[in-house]
Amino acid sequence: MKLLTVADVRAIDRAASEEFGMAGIVLMENAARGVFGVLRARPEYGRGYTVVFCGTGGNGGDGFALARHIANDGRGVECVLAGDAARLRGDALANYEICLSMGIRISDLSECAGIANGAALIVDAVLGTGALGELSGAALAAARIMNSSVAAIVAVDCPTGGDPDTGRVSPDCVRAEETVALCAVKPGLMLFPLAGYAGRVSVAGIGAPKALFDRIPDDLSALTDAEARALIPPRAPDSHKGDFGKAAIVAGLADMPGAAAFAALSAYRAGCGLVRVVSSQESATVVRTLAPQAITSALESTARTLEIINESTAALIGPGLGRGDGVSALVDDVIENARVPLVVDADGLNALSGQAWRLKSAASMPVITPHPKEAERLFGVPATDLMSDPLGYARRFAEESGAVTLLKGASTVVAAPDGQAYINCRPAPALAKAGSGDILAGVILAYLARGLEPLTAAALAAYVHSAAGVAAGDRPGADAIEIINLIGVI
């Protein structure tokens, strides 16, 4: 699913008018019809009246047009104008005047608190994507009134107070149960914290010609269920293990023996044909218990480790290696001498702290999988800053390192050095525990070993990993083995 920025959608709006002669009020009408379809399907719609909070810009115009459709459906509806009616212009003014002509009540903010509290549904059509930054004035007052109501809130295009491009929010951002994105989903709706305010996200088309969507560069996406399933390599009935890749894992020292086992078992669950683990004896014992089909070898010499890696179709280095003597040299040697696609995770990344450029010496584009603190150590950017713009930083890190960068978080961003990126927004509390990163690394490894390109392998793995976490639910007792087993059935 292609994601579009606010600038992209504005370009489509403008081209629809200038190149195809589509009046703005037609696009507004199409948007209102789409939002109405979503509202009508909600259970609250038939339980009482709807209050539509409207701003003075285009988003407010969408709200007034929506109110007309609700009234025509025989349902109770009232509007609240968040601002001065004298500021209404063009299509928004036209729909405001139509509402007045139809007898739809339009209140101002000073008299709407009681109206909002009695509503079954509230529609937030105050700002949409039309304004960024801190809320103030009428928009702030409207957001506070909406948030204080017990009614379900549906936002039009973007909750008031959210940044639809970056996912940042104002302190009083509207908390919606559902957001109906107009034209296309914006990236900020899939990035936290805004994703936590947007609720379920659906899309309403505006009727613009498909050619206008197609001309927007396809450089930012989110995998749908159908798209993810289509990317998983098929398994022919006459296939054998050699058809599904050979993976090597260099991981797991004495004090972290589970890391290698989790990665190996995950790689098998993701469909890899054969997995070989190079680790300490302690880790090998755990691997033989949890993933007895894996082949184990002792982590003795770098030369032998590289032989095993280069006999494979992809390799993973890092989980549970620790930060002891020799780890940095081992990671360097593997990056420089491996002839197969690499995943560098956990302590493999820590060994490169402050020296991400070393990844550019890899024979093929590697995949790196930092969480915010690992990214801080690797790239020197404070973790708190990273989460303010994960998409921007993931793209920057990918360019600096020459590696596909999977920046972990409640919303995971996967970016390639050329700027291509995916956002995966499937929050899964079950993954908030030790071992989850080892599982993800193993899934990426499996897809690389099976022949997927690095960006595709990382994006698909992020999707499958989070889907397994969602399937496990929010039970604190959902352990790593349960999540790994779910990977095989997603």
Would you state the pLDDT for residue 255?
81
Q: Are 33 and 69 in contact (CB under 8 A)?
A: yes
> What pLDDT digit, counting tens, does each position of 258-315 carry?
999 999 999 999 999 999 999 998 999 999 999 999 999 998 899 999 999 999 999 9
pLDDT at 100 > cutoff 80:
yes
The pLDDT tens digits of the residues spanning 463-489 come to 999 999 998 887 666 777 888 888 877
Start-to-end Cα distance in the chain: 19
pLDDT of the residue at 430: 82
User: What distance in Å separates the CA atoms of residue 321 and residue 260, rounded to the nearest whole number?
Assistant: 9
Q: Which of 459, 458, 487, 455 has its CA nearest to residue 471?
A: 487
Which among 334, 331, 315, 359 has a CA at the least distance from the CA of 449? 315
pLDDT (tens digit, 9 = 90+) per residue, 32-74? 999 999 999 999 998 999 999 999 999 999 999 999 999 999 9
Peptide bond into 429 cis (omega under 30): no
pLDDT-derived band at 323 (thresholds 50, 70, 90) equals: confident
The pLDDT value given to residue 397: 98
pLDDT in tens, 232-250: 988 889 999 988 999 999 9
Closest among 339, 374, 379, 381 to 358, alpha carbons compared: 379
For residue 474, CA distances in Å to 23, 108, 417, 427, 432 come to: 47, 42, 34, 10, 10
**What pTM was estimated for this model as a whole?**
0.94
Nearest to 73 by CA among 43, 45, 44: 45
Q: What phi and psi, each to the nearest 5 degrees, are found at residue 50?
A: -115, 135
The per-residue pLDDT for 381 is 96
Q: How confident is the model at residue 325 (pLDDT cuts 50, 70, 90)?
A: confident
pLDDT for position 254:
67
Lowest mean pLDDT among 172-176, 250-254, 438-442: 250-254
Model confidence pLDDT, tens digit, residues 126-174: 999 987 789 999 999 999 999 999 999 999 999 999 999 999 999 999 9
Residue owning tokens 């690797």: 378
pLDDT of residue 231: 96
Q: Give the per-residue pLDDT at 476.
A: 63
Query: Domains in the chain, start-ordered, CATH in brackets?
Result: 6-218 (3.40.50.10260), 225-487 (3.40.1190.20)
Between CA 236 and CA 225 the distance in angstroms is 22
pLDDT for 468: 92
Which of 162-176, 192-206, 421-435 has the lowest average pLDDT?
A: 421-435
Q: What is the pLDDT of residue 256?
A: 86
d(CA 172, CA 453): 42
User: pLDDT tens, 356-409?
Assistant: 999 999 999 999 999 999 999 999 999 999 988 999 999 999 999 999 999 999
Q: Among the listed ranges 135-139, 430-434, 437-441, which one has the minimum average pLDDT value? A: 430-434
Q: Does residue 432 have a pLDDT over 90?
A: no
Q: What is the pLDDT of residue 332?
A: 96
Task: Decide if 223 contacts 424 (C-beta within 8 A).
Answer: yes
State the burial class of residue 357 (Cβ atoms within 10 Å of its Cβ: 0-12, 13-18, 19+): exposed
**Mean pLDDT of the region 419-425:** 97
Q: What is the pLDDT of residue 253?
A: 81
Q: Supply the pLDDT for residue 257.
A: 87
pLDDT at 481: 80
